[in-house]
């Protein structure tokens, strides 16, 4: 139902009260604005009471207005173009950008911590450690998250493969040998890339376990995933904030490193000797 929220509202229109019809009409025409309004503000604009707005959300099957609002926000993030996102984000953030953006990031990390599945997180860490090969994928802005995760896991393992996603054909060439002894870490945030969706489907067909790092249980890579790590992400301009996803990735690296501490210590000592020998880092501050 939530994937087709606007269609659901249109279909239920004849069953709504007069006040609820005004809310429905406004949401259908202005869902990008309604997504960031309180129940009180939405009621004022549509000239109904706040309680009528809350009952409207209930009628749609949501457990209260906040859940309805989250569904609207997911709709905004997946349907708006980059240009439309800028306009909406400007209305949300206002003129005092720095404190607003940082406060929103703090809130997203807090919500992520409260809602993430700790069991899936622990199981995902164990799967990474036991996998024959670790395939990591992320497209567009998520590619930076994939690169960061790959860089740090390569400090611990020799079997990490960062999959190039510049083209669909190259991607499948890189994952064609994936099998049930491997693991795929797929990272995807709106607007969702079809390349990641296709890669996850390919991995599942090969019997590979998939760890999905994404923004919602409604994400197209959430359902097929064996381990789902939901990181809150929201629109801050034409791009999304990736602060919470980066925190999840940091936690994965720390958890894996803790379990592989003895081996990691040996590897890092060897790396330090190599870095010293080849003068990799500046020593003027030593």
Q: At residue 140, does pLDDT exceed 90?
A: no
Residue 201 belongs to domain with CATH number: 3.40.50.10490
Token couple for 278: 């080849």
Mean pLDDT of 193-215: 95
Residues 150 and 259 in one domain: yes
- Of 79, 100, 130, which residue is a domain's last? 79
Q: Is residue 200 part of a domain?
A: yes
By residue range, what is the domain housing residue 177?
112-276
Q: Based on the domain organization, do 163 and 215 belong to the same domain? A: yes
Asked if residue 29 has pLDDT above 70, the reply is yes
Q: In whole angstroms, what separates CA 63 from the centre of its chain? A: 23
Per the structure block, which two tokens stand in for 70?
């989250």
143's CB contacts (< 8 A; 6+ apart) are: 165
Q: Is the pTM of this model over 0.75?
A: no
Domain membership of residue 100 (yes or no) is no
Model pLDDT, residue 1: 43
Question: What is the distance between the alpha carbons of residues 108 and 94, in angstroms, rounded to a whole number?
Answer: 19
Question: Which one is predicted more confidently, 228 or 81?
Answer: 228
The three-point CA angle 100-106-108 to 5° equals 100
What pLDDT is recorded for position 179?
A: 97
By CB neighbour count within 10 A (0-12 exposed, 13-18 middle, 19+ buried), where does 100 fall?
Answer: middle
pLDDT mean over 101-108: 86
């Amino acid at each position: 139902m939530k994937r087709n929220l606007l269609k659901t509202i249109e279909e239920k229109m004849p069953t709504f009260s007069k006040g609820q019809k005004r809310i429905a009409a406004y949401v259908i025409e202005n869902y990008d604005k309604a997504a960031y309004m309180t129940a009180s503000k939405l009621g004022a604009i549509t000239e109904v009471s706040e309680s009528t707005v809350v009952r409207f959300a209930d009628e749609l099957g949501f457990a209260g207005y906040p859940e309805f609002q989250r569904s609207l926000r997911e709709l905004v993030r997946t349907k708006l173009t980059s240009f439309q996102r800028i306009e909406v984000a400007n209305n949300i953030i206002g003129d005092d950008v720095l404190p607003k953006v940082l406060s929103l990031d703090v809130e997203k990390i807090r919500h992520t911590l409260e809602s993430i599945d700790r069991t899936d997180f622990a199981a995902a860490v164990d799967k990474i450690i036991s996998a024959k090969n670790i395939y990591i994928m992320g497209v567009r802005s998520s590619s930076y998250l994939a690169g960061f995760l790959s860089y740090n896991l390569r400090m611990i393992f020799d079997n990490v493969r960062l999959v190039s996603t510049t083209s669909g054909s190259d991607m499948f060439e890189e994952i064609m040998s994936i099998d049930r002894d491997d693991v795929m870490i797929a990272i995807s945030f709106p607007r969702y890339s079809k390349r990641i969706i296709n890669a996850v489907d390919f991995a599942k067909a090969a019997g590979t376990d998939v760890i999905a790092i994404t923004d919602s249980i409604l994400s197209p890579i959430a359902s097929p995933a064996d381990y789902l790590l939901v990181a809150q992400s929201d629109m801050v301009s034409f791009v999304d904030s990736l602060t919470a996803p980066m925190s999840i990735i940091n936690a994965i690296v720390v958890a894996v490193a803790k379990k592989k501490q003895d081996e990691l210590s040996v590897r890092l000592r060897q790396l330090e000797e190599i870095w010293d020998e080849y003068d990799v880092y500046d020593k003027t501050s030593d």
